[in-house]
Structure 1
Amino acid sequence: MNTTYKTGDLLAVAAAHALPVVRNLPDDRLGARTPCAEYDVRALVNHLFHVVVQFQELAAKRNADFGGDTPDYVAEGDDWRERFAAETERLVAAWSAPGADEGTTGAMSMPARTVGSMVLLDLTVHAWDLARATGQEYGTGEAPASGVPDVVDTLRAAVADLGPTARAMGVFGEPVPVREDASDFDRLLAATGRDPYWS
């Protein structure tokens, strides 16, 4: 992972692209399929919402709770889009706190920077999944952190490092072939087992 920038800085960039997508998810598309075959839009929103909440705990060196069923955040009120935005702001703040990138965290005592790259990947790639599933453009948000590079280079390095284990656990699929003129972002998606041309 890029050691020049804090995870929080990179998450701020990812959040700027993700939040417009989530805010514009139409209610009548919550049952639509997504590039993640096991999730429809509603289930993927709930998964990403849960990730955003639980990785705040990991930033603070507390254990996360991914056991049991994922809560249905969408069913908790019509304001779920704004609640997601508020939790995402808390996620950025948690990973911007002094010491968040240092040491180890989580039940597996993984390096904090590696754990931070995992939530950065989820916030980036699942936002693309949701955009693609609902006919939105991804990447139209404005990056708020001037001078922070695109997160793609950071994530491609993380996926290369985490890929073998993630594939063995069924988190990533096998890499998907891409065209010669594919963008770096398309190559990132393909490395996670996604078809960047999915529709």
Structure 2
Amino acid sequence: MTAADDLAAAVDLAVATIRGAGPERYTDSTPCSDYTVADVVNHLAFGFLLAHHAATREPWPESWAATDRAPFLRDLPEAEWAEAAAKEGAAAAAAWADPAVWEGESHLGGGPMPAAAIGAMMTGEFVVHSWDLATATGQELAVPPALGEVTLEAMSGMAAMGRDAGWIGPEVAVAEDRPAFERALGVAGRDPARTT
């Protein structure tokens, strides 16, 4: 599989968990500290939009703040969030399908970064937050071993920066003989044994 295939698989996983997290669960807590289910759905939706713009190299509008509601969800009732997120996720995956998009530099709203690093980071983010949603809402999450390895590599590459910035918690110890995805969760500050 290519990096683009991995990103598309991560988007598909995230969309499936968003669809499985009905609006009646949106006020529930999640493993993602201080985030409700609605917050994680919004975070993934915004992530799809940011990934899309990173692929196309379009600048972010000045009115965007990653802590806000995703612009395309702002005026929608929560019952329509899943389909709107699915549409934006598909657009992001399609934009990253072009191998040329992975070359050179792009951005995530700040300074320039290698596009390949952004693509890998977003892949890992989508998979880990899919676990957050699945765990919070009682869904089964099947992460293929290869995608687990990609997620572990992505999380390992960004964990120190995320901890310094306060958006990744302390690492949770996970045995080296556990599957790569469980170890990725530990690196991302999650306890893979958590069930709610």
Q: Does TM, scored on the shorter chain, surpass 0.5?
A: yes
Shift of 1:63: 2.7
Instruction: Give the TM-score taking structure 1 as reference length.
Output: 0.85
Are 1:55 and 1:64, in contact at CA under 8 Å, matched by a contact in 2? no
* Whole-Å separation in 2 of the counterparts to 1:68 and 1:46: 10
Instruction: Give the TM-score taking structure 2 as reference length.
Output: 0.86
* Whole-Å separation in 2 of the counterparts to 1:68 and 1:22: 18
* Whole-Å separation in 1 of the counterparts to 2:67 and 2:152: 30
Give 1:146's aligned residue: none
Give 2:149's aligned residue: 153
Give 1:59's aligned residue: 55
Are 1:58 and 1:64, in contact at CA under 8 Å, matched by a contact in 2? no
Give unpaired runs (5+ residues) of structure 1. Answer: 144-148
Give 1:13's aligned residue: 9
Answer 1 or 2: which has greater helix percent.
2
Q: Residues 92-117 of structure 1: CA distance to partner in whole angstroms, max 9, x if unpaired?
A: 00111242101011132110011111
Shift of 1:137: 0.4
- Aligned pairs, how many? 188
* Whole-Å separation in 2 of the counterparts to 1:10 and 1:136: 21
Give 2:76's aligned residue: 76
Give unpaired runs (5+ residues) of structure 2. Answer: none
* Whole-Å separation in 2 of the counterparts to 1:52 and 1:69: 14
* Whole-Å separation in 2 of the counterparts to 1:158 and 1:180: 17
Shift of 1:75: 5.7
Correspondence 1:32-111 to 2 at 5 A = 32-64=28-60, 66-67=64-65, 69-71=67-69, 73=73, 76-77=76-77, 78-106=79-107, 107-111=110-114
1:132 aligned to 2:135? yes
